[in-house]
Amino acid sequence: MKDTSPPCALNDDLQRAPWPSIVIPFYNEEENVRPLHDQIVSALSGLTRSYEVIAVDDGSTDRTLAILEAIVKEDPRWRVVVLRRNFGQTAALSAGFDHATGDVIVTLDGDLQNDPADIPRLLELIQDYDVVSGWRADRKDPFLSRRLPSMLANRLISATTGVRLHDYGCTLKAYRRVVVENLRLYGELHRFIPAIASWMGIAIAEVKTNHRPRQFGHSKYSIARTVRVLLDLIAVKFLLRFSTSPIQIFGGLGLTVGVAGGGLLLYLAGLKLLMGQQIGGRPLLLLAILLLILGVQLVGMGLLGEMVARVYHETQRKPIYMVQRTIHGGQGRRDGC
- For the segment 114-133, what is each residue's pLDDT rounded down to a tens digit? 999 999 999 999 988 999 99
Q: Taken in order 107, 239, 99, 222, is the CA torsion positive or negative? A: negative
Q: Is the pLDDT of residue 226 over 80?
A: no
Q: Taken in order 311, 313, 314, 315, is the CA torsion positive or negative? A: positive
Cis bond before residue 149 (omega within 30° of 0): no
Q: Is the pLDDT of residue 2 over 50?
A: no
Determine what percent of the chain falls in helix, strand and coil, rounding each to the nearest 5. 50, 15, 35
Residue 201: per-residue pLDDT? 79
pLDDT band, residue 230 (cuts 50/70/90): confident
Residue 220: per-residue pLDDT? 59
Residue 242: per-residue pLDDT? 66
- Angle (CA) 321 326 328, round 5°: 155
d(CA 79, CA 76): 7
pLDDT band, residue 173 (cuts 50/70/90): very high
* Residue extents of the structural domains in the chain: 12-242, 247-314
Rounded mean pLDDT, 81-86:
94
For the question of whether the overall pTM of this predicted structure is more than 0.85, the answer is no
d(CA 263, CA 315): 42
* Residue 146 per-residue DSSP state: I
Residue 314: per-residue pLDDT? 58
d(CA 163, CA 174): 16
Averaged confidence pLDDT in the chain: 81
132-149 per-position pLDDT tens digit: 999 988 887 777 667 777
Q: Is the pLDDT of residue 262 over 50?
A: yes
Higher pLDDT, 22 or 301: 22
Mean pLDDT: which of 14-18, 83-87, 240-244, 273-277 is highest?
83-87
d(CA 73, CA 330): 5
pLDDT band, residue 8 (cuts 50/70/90): very low
Higher pLDDT, 233 or 123: 123
Mean pLDDT: which of 62-66, 235-239, 297-301 is highest?
62-66
Residue 110: per-residue pLDDT? 92
Q: Is the pLDDT of residue 27 over 90?
A: yes
Q: Is the pLDDT of residue 171 over 80?
A: yes
What CATH number does the domain located at 12-242 have?
A: 3.90.550.10
pLDDT band, residue 160 (cuts 50/70/90): confident
Q: Is the pLDDT of residue 11 over 80?
A: no
